[in-house]
Amino acid sequence: MSLPGRNDPCWCGSGKKYKKCHLDTDARGESTPTTAAPRAAPAKGTVRPGFVGAGRPVPVEIWRPPYAETGDPGPRTKRSCVKTPDEIEAMRAANKLARVVLDHVVRHVRPGITTDELDAIAHAKTIELGAYPSPLNYHGFPKSICTSVNEVICHGIPDSRALNDGEIVNCDITVYYQGMHGDCSETVFVGRIDPEARRLVECAYECMMLGIKAALPGRPINEIGRAIEAHAKKAGYSVVREFSGHGIGADFHMEPHVLHYFDRAARTRIDPGMTFTVEPMINQGTWRSEIWEDGWTAVTLDRKLSAQFEHTLLITPQGPELLTAGDGPPWFRRQIAAAEGAAVEAAGA
């Protein structure tokens, strides 16, 4: 990519003149603009792609997953996701760190911050904790987290696009630690809370929790999708079908597929010791999607909003244990409480 003139718009998409943005860092060789053109997006939609910088380095002492150098994780494993006691303890450790990183990142979401800046924040925190950011170079994915804004369903690549007031963004965090992956995500508000977005986000969270509640030992795995789909339909929303939850452990993705809609044929029995994700993607309109030319970014076909939440579960004889449970309510509910508190205070002033 040829660099712009001093008074031209900066390559990063910030809207600033080049001389007031990346001119100095480019001159010092510190910037990492992509050498390719911006990723092409479909003609309609609120989210336009920005520039994607190079992946961030990981210190040599960090324990890496097998694909870290090659980008190839190999075929999806067919082995059982039931864990040994030692593996369960390693899963608890990895997922605890994933939650720490997620809580750290969502606190930085605000109007004006770019998704690449969120990636930098997540990457630095992951490294600080001694873990590897699992998405980095997984099948060639260029960044350390996924950031999915508005109509982006999942797998949004962090880039130079700044978040706007009134948007929503899903931050999807996975870390690799002690030979295991930990995976979780939340959708949060960017500044102002739009009432329609709030309703969707609330429903997406409720869908996830109902799916988790249905993950009982001895039951078929399609009970999870049954619970999620029923709640989403009652609220007037649709459930994405192209992407599912998954077994997780030493492999980022493994059996079983955890469908978020009811499929009579999905009869895998839920057994104690299993670890898998429940991560429904709930859409305002159609459940159908399409992929940007970057090969990753999935967007709703009608460009209406999509929201997602994700936990990693351990199935115990008593029921599901949330390995990625946080302290207190999810961040979006804290945002709502803060906004309502501010409104009450303003009304009494």
Tell me the whole-structure pTM to 2 decimals.
0.88
Banded model confidence at residue 32, pLDDT cuts 50, 70, 90: very low
**What residue type is assigned to position 329 of the chain?**
P
CB 122 within 8 A of CB 108: no
Count the neighbouring beta carbons within 10 Å of the beta carbon of residue 322.
16
| Buried/exposed 305-318: b ≥16 CB within 10 Å, e otherwise | bbbbbbbbbbbeee
List, edge to edge, every strand of the sheet that includes 298-300: 152-154, 298-300, 289-291
Please indicate, yes or no, if residue 136 is contained in any of the structural domains.
Answer: yes
Structure tokens at 262: 């009811």
Number of domains in the chain: 1
CB 49 within 8 A of CB 41: yes
Domain range for residue 171? 65-348
pLDDT tens readout for residues 178-190: 999 999 999 999 9
Please indicate, yes or no, if residue 134 is contained in any of the structural domains.
Answer: yes
Please indicate, yes or no, if residue 239 is contained in any of the structural domains.
Answer: yes
Please indicate, yes or no, if residue 2 is contained in any of the structural domains.
Answer: no
Q: How high is the pLDDT of residue 191? A: 97
Please indicate, yes or no, if residue 34 is contained in any of the structural domains.
Answer: no
Q: Can you give the CATH number for the domain in which 107 is found?
A: 3.90.230.10
Please indicate, yes or no, if residue 157 is contained in any of the structural domains.
Answer: yes
Q: How high is the pLDDT of residue 45? A: 82
Mean pLDDT of the chain: 90
Please indicate, yes or no, if residue 46 is contained in any of the structural domains.
Answer: no
Banded model confidence at residue 38, pLDDT cuts 50, 70, 90: low
Question: DSSP letters along 113-176, please?
Answer: -BHHHHHHHHHHHHHHTT-EETTTTGGG--SSSEEEETTEEE-PPP-SPBP-TT-EEEEEEEEE
More confident residue, 162 or 19: 162
Please indicate, yes or no, if residue 33 is contained in any of the structural domains.
Answer: no
